[in-house]
Amino acid sequence: AQKVTQAQTEISVVEKEDVTLDCVYETRDTTYYLFWYKQPPSGELVFLIRRNSFDEQNEISGRYSWNFQKSTSSFNFTITASQVVDSAVYFCALSEDSGNTPLVFGKGTRLSVIA
């Protein structure tokens, strides 16, 4: 069965600090997809990234970067030079097939960035 664990329930940082959100997943499939979504106070989840199980290259997008390590079943998310607007709940998710199969979400990590 598939499972996503986000051990950090809440994190608080001061603006401009770097922060890493951890995600550990479990799956029996060799083909799977990993995702990160952001949920700001408005409640609407926003897609950040999708990564397939065959691509372990790290990805950087502006201040965001993702580290995918199959050896440890982890897909961690780092925000560099955090800003107040980064405050949100962040969810890691897993799909054991391509896109249209249901995503399984972790419980989320609430990030608070203090000015």
Partner 1 sequence: GAGVSQTPSNKVTEKGKYVELRCDPISGHTALYWYRQSLGQGPEFLIYFQGTGAADDSGLPNDRFFAVRPEGSVSTLKIQRTERGDSAVYLCASSTNLNTGELFFGEGSRLTVL
Q: Which stretch binds partner 1 (CB under 8 A): 22-30, 36-44, 53-61, 66-74?
A: 36-44
Whose CA is closest to 85, among 24, 49, 41? 41
**Candidate list 30, 43, 54, 85; residue touching partner 1; CB under 8 A:** 43
Which range of residues in 21-29, 66-74, 76-84, 102-110 is near partner 1 by CB under 8 A?
Answer: 102-110
Nearer residue to partner 1 within complex by CB, 3 or 63: 3
- Does residue 4 bind partner 1 (CB under 8 A)? yes
Burial of 108: CB neighbours in 10 Å, binned 0-12, 13-18, 19+: buried
Residues paired with residue 99 on neighbouring β-strands, in sequence order: none
